[in-house]
A and B are shown apart, each in its own frame.
Chain A
Amino acid sequence: MAAETLTKRWGMVIDQDRCIGCWTCAVGCKEINNEPLGFWWNRILTAAPGETTGESSAAVADPASDSIDVPHGTFPEVDLAYLPVACQHCEDAPCVKVCPVGATFRRDDGTVLVDYERCIGCRYCIAACPYGIRVFNWGDAKQPVDFTVGYGRDYRTADGRLVFTPDRPRGVVEKCTFCVERIDSGEQPFCVEVCPVGARVFGDLNDPESEVAQLVDDGGATQLLPDLGTDPRVFYLPVQRERNV
């Protein structure tokens, strides 16, 4: 028991029944991570009916509209659900497999990170990611304001790899880090902290007592595009689901 809890295995649960599509987590993410203009590590997708969790990638058809917040169906039978998508921190991550230099790597705690100092900018990981969550520094980063907001300084892992910097180098790929600098010091990822409706739960999946592990174990939790076998560490609680209450 003690040995099991030594290694953390971070995971997140997103309750789609609570999500109101307000984009606070996406904007909070941009702010804390100093994301330049045009970058979104975290997006809130308007989901298609019956496709609120993306249970099978085979079922992903064109949605009714290419605009957000458009309900599906005909009034009064309309249906609307939101699907917040950032890095899924897959157990078997395609991006980790394709990176030619190991700049994208998976830490023992399950966090998939990008080393800003090793990335050669080939963008193979962008091609390999099924979730479309990676963004590339095409040119010089433009910040919305000229003073420091958010985390605002470099962060290195224990073995010295630069996994966050507010001064984005041109020509490297970046993505959601599960707010590595925050979770390493015992805080919650910022999207979890700012969500006004408590739709996000973060914690250690290895700890059976944790809320996140219990929500996953309770059943009804699904992963995004599970038929691809990537085994994400982000779980979704669909709007309509079996509840063990």
Chain B
Amino acid sequence: MATRVETPGLRPVAFGRTGRIWLSLLGILVLWGLGAWIYQLTQGLVATGMRDVVSWGLYIFSFAFFVGLSAGGLIMASGAEVFGVKSLRPLASVGVLTAAACVLVAAMTIIPDLGKAQRLYEIFRYPNWSSPLVWDIVIIIVYFAFAVTDLAVMHRRRMAAPRRRRTLRVLAYVGLPAAVLLHSITAWIFGLQISRPWWNTALLAPLFVTSAILSGTALIALVALVANRFDRLELPRETWTALAGLMATAIAVDLFLVGSDYVTILWGNVPRERAALDIVLPGGSWQWLFWVEWVVGGLVPFVLLVTPRFRIRPALLALSSVLVMVGVYAFRIELVVGGMVKPLLHLPPGNAVGTYRLGQTSFQFDGIYHPTWVEYGIVTGLTAFLALLITVGYRWLRSVERAGAGA
């Protein structure tokens, strides 16, 4: 066994200086995030920019975003098995690894958002089954366990090849509905709320599934590109075109769904619905979200991905992947903030803020939200931790695979 790993040429590419710098950078950012969280624990959530009107912020955007990123893995694995897209097969194991990492980090992102994180166990002690949050925690645990099992089956050395194939096939068929449920339930946390007309649309679950496929594929493409550049991971041309095609399709469907929602609200012209839409449309106080979602993360990557000349260039594919993720993140912000800035009872003096500063009113008529360094710090730390998990996990996968290939 041991001799196999030592066979020259099959050893993973040495991590080298770049790798060490990358890991140390991530390590520093993780520590920075940890420090910010400790600071927040000493102060309370008053250290964030959230208040009673916009009472969910960066943590919840990021939670929903990380959940979405996890979609990529299952698409690679089940795309190959269920839909027979062979060109995606080389990415199956990297995909499932990212899925496990993303869903784990998503679960971790909820913790700094809680006012009493030390009481988290109450969810298991007194679960209230009518709460979509409880459903979400259940599906997150199931999905994580599923991804880890899938990964274990892919890499168990003792398992005979035919049996492994069969098991992976079965897992792919289970995984697909599990993934759809994961994104739908995360959408329903928002979508079922009658108090927020902006969230309360049946389109939300399909939108979350689509944007998850979009951002998840972008993440896999990015990981594959980095691996190709630094680890000589060679992928057939069809794989790259499949990734580009999948992203382009997902952008189109995603913007179609968002656009349908806009048209429905604009034509109906119901004040409580227009109030939310108007703040993100051009001219509104959060209009930058519109441009980021439709142009920076929509039109630009779409053109890059459908033009044959552009999509085969690694740099442009990487750029598209990043832009797509930025666009999906903007959609998450648009959803949460848009739903909260204008309360349903929008009458003066507005809602109580929940904190007091001498000489300032303790009411907000329109919700105000500016994230603080603490929130940026914690989310940066969590993102760095995700990158760290993917890097280390990828190294492990490659070493296992190369050892297997040498057999």
Contacts and interface: CB of A to CB of B under 8 A. Distances in A.
A100 B45 contact: no
Interface stretch (B13-21, B52-60, B172-180, B228-236): B52-60
A120 B344 contact: no
A169 B116 contact: yes
Contacts of B196: 127
A98 B44 CA distance: 23
Contacts of B130: 97-98
Contact of A132 (B125, B351, B355, B366): B351
A33 interface: no
B45 A138 contact: yes
Given A130-B194, A136-B55, A121 B115 contact: yes
Given A65-B348, A66-B348, A126-B52, A37 B356 contact: yes
Nearest to B357: A38
B86 interface: no
A123 B347 contact: no
B362 to A, nearest CB: 4
B195 A128 contact: yes
A128 B355 contact: no
Given A38-B352, A139-B46, A225 B344 contact: yes
A138 B195 contact: no
Interface string B19-62: 00000000000000000000000011111101111011000000
A132 B115 contact: no
B345 A224 contact: yes
B126 A118 contact: yes
Interface string B109-145: 0100111110110110111101111100100000000
B55 A58 contact: no
Given A122-B113, A171-B44, A139 B345 contact: no
A139 B354 CA distance: 9
A58 B271 contact: yes
Interface stretch (A43-51, A152-160, A201-209, A211-219): A43-51
A223 to B, nearest CB: 13
B348 A139 contact: no
A116 to B, nearest CB: 10
Contacts, number: 196
B260 interface: no
Contact of B352 (A43, A101, A140): A43
A244 interface: no
Interface residues of B, number: 62
B313 interface: no
Contacts of B352: 38-40, 43, 135
Main secondary structure of the interface of A (DSSP, over half): loop
Interface in B78-132: 110, 113-117, 119-120, 122-123, 125-128, 130-132
A191 to B, nearest CB: 16
Contact of B343 (A128, A132, A230): A132
A78 interface: no
Contact of A129 (B195, B349, B355): B195
Contacts of B363: 40, 43
A118 B119 contact: yes
A100 B134 contact: yes
Given A46-B348, A60-B346, A102 B115 contact: no
B354 A138 contact: yes
Contacts of A169: 116
Contact of A47 (B51, B133, B343, B347): B347
Interface in B144-182: none
A230 B345 CA distance: 15
A66 B345 contact: no
B246 interface: no
Interface string A155-185: 0000000000000011111000000000000
A138 B356 contact: no
B348 A68 contact: yes
A62 to B, nearest CB: 6
B56 A139 contact: no
Nearest to A116: B116
Contacts of B366: 66
Nearest to A65: B348
B362 A171 contact: no
Contacts of A37: 356, 362
Interface in B250-279: 270-272, 275
B344 A45 contact: no
A7 interface: no
Among B122, B353, B362, B365, chain A packs the most CB atoms within 10 A around the CB of B122
A99 B110 CA distance: 15
Contacts of B53: 132
A130 B133 contact: no
B314 interface: no
A36 B345 CA distance: 23
18 contacts: A60-B272, A63-B347, A67-B349, A70-B348, A99-B128, A100-B133, A100-B137, A118-B119, A121-B114, A122-B114, A126-B52, A127-B196, A127-B339, A132-B343, A135-B352, A137-B115, A139-B43, A228-B194
The 5 A-B pairs at the shortest CB distance, nearest first, are namely A121-B115, A171-B115, A139-B46, A37-B356, A38-B356
Interface of A: 36-40, 43, 45-48, 54, 57-63, 65-68, 70, 83, 85, 94, 97-103, 118-124, 126-132, 134-140, 142, 169-173, 224-225, 228-230
Given A37-B356, A120-B116, 11 more contacts: A39-B352, A40-B363, A43-B363, A60-B344, A62-B271, A63-B347, A83-B345, A98-B133, A127-B340, A135-B354, A138-B45
Interface of B: 43-48, 50-53, 55-56, 110, 113-117, 119-120, 122-123, 125-128, 130-134, 137, 189-190, 193-196, 270-272, 275, 339-340, 343-356, 362-363, 365-366
